[in-house]
Amino acid sequence: MPSIDILVPLFFLLFFVGYRVFENHRPVYFWSIYRLLIVSLIVHLALVGFVWQWIPLYVTIILLLVLSIKTLKINQTTDGLSTVRKLLWGFSIGLSALSFLLIWVFPLRNLPEPTGTSPVGTFSWVIDTDREEAYTETPGDTRRFKVQAWYPAEDIELAEKAPWLIDGAAPVQGMARDFGFPGFIFNHLATVEANAYLDVDAALGTHPVVIISHGWTGFRNLHTDLAEELASHGYIVFGTNHSYGSVATVFDDAVAPLNNDALPPRETTPEFLTYANTLVTTFSEDILDTIDAIERLNVDETWELAGRLDLSKIAVIGHSTGGGASVLSAMNDDRIQTVIGLDAWVEPIAIDRLEEGLDVPALLLRSEAWEISFNNEYLYTLMNATDPGLLEVHQVTGTTHYDFGMVYMFSTLSPILGLQGSLGMEMPTLQNALVLDALAANLIGESPLDVSAYDTLTPVIPE
């Protein structure tokens, strides 16, 4: 649906073309529209903030101010528009068209609204551990990482909505650089509002717990839509931001950037799987440290969610590297009751561990893009070693590896670039519904998981 962000450049473009064509026919009307467009820019700046895609529109305002000064020589002509005036009008039309194109390619989109009945609260904090940090060179560094909570809330009447990127633009700047774009290209996403409210009281009662682990070069807010959806249905969700495996982890005193040496290229690294195993193990230890932390905090009356966690019901959900880490965590810790893997990268897990299989119910979803991958041999090993009654593995037709995160927020060109599959915005809706069904079956125990209604799923059969 068109928003003011793309409509305003369109109106500017129509204004310039219209004025150029009908300049001698009631120009007062056009200058009245021009004033309205200036007001719209000011209102947008006040309500949304600075958006770099609108820079060409700001320039056009200056050009039109110049053109509106009747005493300038460029306006004093005897044979119609002067060459300079034609150029200025041409620049104005071109800049308006450029702004329209930039907003179309890099739009400002709203997050999907959660479908549950509970409003959602959120806050973040840092977990400090005594583990040695594997990805810094400073002796004595211990690992720390960021966690964000989403939870059923109450008393939101005077509350402030959280930004989607609660840590600011640093994560999307890191993602832009990782894709080879200028760092500022996604800065506008820092103005996007989430559905969750900052630092509001949690709803009464105890709630099952879900931990979400992002993938390599990801960050926790790529799964905000899923986290908000689950929280609106009564779950308390914790998203881990894995330092140095994320494009950016923001602390009060520093930003931990992506450490590319943590996972060097497979093609040029003979010991690639050793690096991969260290990475997945690090992510898994972050998950388990998160569980340790929330166990301690649940009895700390000063904590926002104290007494609200049902720690007998813990699920882990992970994408890619985070998916492999979630599987490994469930193998290592019996506090975890179920696993959901989104293109779970299990290849780095030692083969003898995979041959032990899972002993908790799990749902693994594979993208169509990963139908052929190095991961499959290891995935099949895990499937063959696990009781078929515990593990369901399905491929989602028309999806890419990135579809399990919020790839739709970044660019209209995502499908053309192969980052977003043919399902488009049906994918987050499908994913959220599947995860809710899996949690209801495997964590809450309401009924057996039935995926027969999802016609885009195909069972994965081990080869």
Q: Any idea what the CATH number is for the domain that residue 432 is in?
A: 3.40.50.1820
Task: Indicate whether 268 and 402 sit together in one domain.
Answer: yes
Task: Indicate whether 345 and 306 sit together in one domain.
Answer: yes
Task: Indicate whether 358 and 413 sit together in one domain.
Answer: yes
32 lies in a domain? yes
Q: Which residues contact 275 (CB under 8 A, 6 or more apart)?
A: 262, 263, 264, 269
Distances (CA, A) of 182 to 50, 73, 176, 178, 451: 17, 40, 6, 10, 42
Neighbours of 334 (CB within 10 A): 9
Task: Indicate whether 152 and 93 sit together in one domain.
Answer: no
314 lies in a domain? yes
Task: Indicate whether 55 and 20 sit together in one domain.
Answer: yes
The phi, psi pair for 366, rounded to 5°, reads -110, 135
Q: What's the CA dihedral at 302, 308, 312, 315 to 10 degrees? A: -100
110 lies in a domain? no
Q: What is the pLDDT of residue 63?
A: 77
Domain enclosing residue 31, as ranges = 4-105
CA distance 15 to 102: 18
Boundary of a domain, candidates 105, 131, 149: 105
Q: What is the pLDDT of residue 151?
A: 98
Task: Indicate whether 72 and 149 sit together in one domain.
Answer: no
114 lies in a domain? no
Asked if residues 398 and 423 have their Cβ atoms less than 8 Å apart, the reply is: yes
Boundary of a domain, candidates 47, 75, 105: 105
Task: Indicate whether 335 and 252 sit together in one domain.
Answer: yes
435 lies in a domain? yes
Q: What is the pLDDT of residue 23?
A: 56
CA distance 3 to 165: 20
* The two three-digit tokens of residue 64, written as one number: 């039109």
Task: Indicate whether 190 and 86 sit together in one domain.
Answer: no
Q: How many domains does the chain have?
A: 2
The tens-digit pLDDT sequence of the chain (463 residues) is: 345 667 777 777 777 666 666 655 455 666 666 677 777 777 777 776 778 888 888 888 777 777 666 555 555 554 555 677 677 777 878 888 898 899 889 988 899 999 999 999 999 999 999 999 999 988 889 999 999 999 999 989 889 999 999 999 999 999 999 988 899 999 999 989 999 999 999 999 999 999 999 999 999 999 999 999 999 999 999 999 999 999 999 999 999 999 999 999 999 999 999 999 999 999 999 999 999 999 999 999 999 999 999 999 999 999 999 999 999 999 999 999 999 999 999 999 999 999 999 999 999 999 999 999 999 999 999 999 999 999 999 999 999 999 999 999 999 999 999 999 999 999 999 999 999 999 999 999 988 999 999 999 999 999 8
Task: Indicate whether 126 and 28 sit together in one domain.
Answer: no
Q: Where are the beta strands (DSSP E) in 84-141?
A: 120-132
Boundary of a domain, candidates 75, 105, 135: 105
425 lies in a domain? yes
How many helices (H) and strands (E) the chain has is answered by 11, 13
Q: What is the pLDDT of residue 68?
A: 65
Task: Indicate whether 88 and 129 sit together in one domain.
Answer: no
CA distance 279 to 277: 5
Task: Indicate whether 216 and 81 sit together in one domain.
Answer: no
Q: What's the residue count for the chain? A: 463
56 lies in a domain? yes
Query: How are beta strands 338-342 and 362-367 bridged, if at all?
Result: parallel
Identify the three-state secondary structure at position 21: helix
CA distance 208 to 308: 9
47 lies in a domain? yes
Task: Indicate whether 101 and 124 sit together in one domain.
Answer: no
CA distance 449 to 463: 24
Helix, strand and coil content of the chain, in percent to the nearest 5, comes to 45, 20, 40
